[in-house]
Amino acid sequence: MKGIYSALLASFDEQGKINEQGVREIVRHNIDKMMVDGLYVGGSTGENFMLSTEEKKQIFEIAKDEAGSEVKLIAQVGSINVYESIDLAKHATALGYDAISAVTPFYYKFSFEEIKDYYNMIIDSVDNRLIIYSIPFLTGVDMSVEQFGELFENPKIIGVKFTAADFFLLERMRKAYPDKLIFAGFDEMMLSAAVLDVDGAIGSTFNVNGPRARQIYELAKAGKIEEAREIQHTTNDLIAAILDNGLYPTIKCILEEQGVHAGCCRKPMASATPEARIRAREIYKQYIK
């Protein structure tokens, strides 16, 4: 399960409906051109939290049908509705996903015991493995080393997607749980996470910057920090330009420049304006082509 995973984008038409061919093309692009080890399907990058349960299932089905067993697949099934999460976990497991993942329950101020119950309910409902999706800046849920340890007491909870800038916590977790998988979740901080011996990374910009992500990870693992740092500098120049122009719309425009029908964003998220499309083309030519 280790390595470089793209947080898979989803493709929608102008009416907000899933563009199946576009999703298939994004999957193929990631496998054939970005050379990733796996796909993280149904996460924030896939605009998951704006989709119905049936639409989430459809994305899982398309991605699995297109990828087959070529790469590892992780299905993000987390939801504020734990019964939807269980339904999605069963669906992804039946499809043959290698693992499931679940974001911490958000919006309400859930206690840690409630969060722990949520994770155990999901993973105990299926014969699969679960990776916690920790993204405190969006969910408002911070957990301690000890609390992660309590979750890891369930042997089916095998790791965490760590999307946070708290590298002290990351280091403490790596030392405390050497046998658990830790995936870095911030593309722009990948080198720092790799130095702390994470097991891989899951990123949205890997859809267009996968080869550099792998270089950073492998160079850091080999102790070639100066070389990795130079590639991280270039990567962060790219990321800064993408963020300034609109994260998901710009990545989709860059994919369109490469012949991939990445489509529109799902409302209420705005798609790229004509000006943003021009800027995305410039970013593509400067940093990727």
Does the annotation flag 273 for ligand binding?
no
Does the annotation flag 14 for ligand binding?
no
**φ, ψ of residue 214 in degrees (nearest 5):** -65, -40
* Helix-helix angle 82-95:112-123, to 10 degrees: 30
Does the annotation flag 188 for ligand binding?
yes
**Nearest C-alpha neighbor of 48 from the set 94, 88, 14, 21:** 88
Q: What is the DSSP letter of 49?
A: G
Of 133, 217, 248, 284, the catalytic one is 133
Neighbours of 165 (CB within 10 A): 14
Does the annotation flag 185 for ligand binding?
yes
Does the annotation flag 187 for ligand binding?
yes
133 is annotated as an active-site residue:
yes
Does the annotation flag 11 for ligand binding?
no
Of 57, 116, 161, 252, the catalytic one is 161
3-class secondary structure per residue, 131-164? EEEECHHHHCCCCCHHHHHHHHCCCCEEEEEECC
Neighbours of 136 (CB within 10 A): 16
Does the annotation flag 44 for ligand binding?
yes
161 is annotated as an active-site residue:
yes
Does the annotation flag 61 for ligand binding?
no
256-286: b (≥16 Cβ within 10 Å) or e = bbeebbbbbbbeeeebbeeebbebbeebbee
Binding annotation for pyruvate:
45, 202
As annotated, the active-site residues are 133, 161
Binding-site residues: 44-45, 163, 185, 187-188, 202, 204
